[in-house]
Amino acid sequence: MKKELTCIGCPIGCQMEVTIEDGECREVSGHSCRRGESYARQECLHPARMVTASILIPDRILPLSVRTDRPFPKERIGECLEEIRKIKPQLPVKVGDVLLPNILETGINIIATRNYS
Ligand code: SF4
Q: List, for residues 24-51, the tens digit of each pLDDT value.
A: 899 999 999 999 999 999 998 889 999 9
7 touches ligand 1 (CB under 6 Å): yes
Measured in angstroms, how far is the CA atom of residue 80 from the centroid of ligand 1?
29
Instruction: Using DSSP, state whether 42 is helix, strand or coil.
Output: helix
Q: Tell me the pLDDT of the chain averaged across its residues.
A: 95
Ligand 1 neighbour 9 (Cβ under 6 A): yes
73: pLDDT strictly greater than 90: yes
Q: Of 47, 50, 48, which is closest to residue 66 (Cα–Cα)?
A: 50
Regarding the beta carbon of 8 and ligand 1, being less than 6 Å apart is answered: no
CB 3 within 8 Å of CB 43 = no
Percent of the chain past pLDDT 90, that is, above it, reads 92
Using a 6 Å cutoff on CB, does residue 40 contact ligand 1? no
Residues 6 or more apart whose Cβ sits within 8 Å of residue 45: 20, 23, 24, 25
Mean of the pLDDT values across residues 53-76?
Answer: 95
In contact, 31 and 40? CB cutoff 8 Å: yes
**pLDDT (0 to 100) of residue 45:** 86
Given a cut of 90, is residue 55 above it in pLDDT?
Answer: yes
DSSP 62-113: SPEEEEESS-EEGGGHHHHHHHHHT--PPSSB-TT-EEESSGGGSS--EEES
CA distance 98 to 109: 6
What's the average model confidence in pLDDT over 71-85? 97
| Residue bearing the CA closest to ligand 1, atom 1 | 36
For residue 23, what pLDDT is reported? 85
Can you give the pTM of this predicted structure?
0.80
Q: Are 99 and 112 in contact (CB under 8 A)?
A: yes
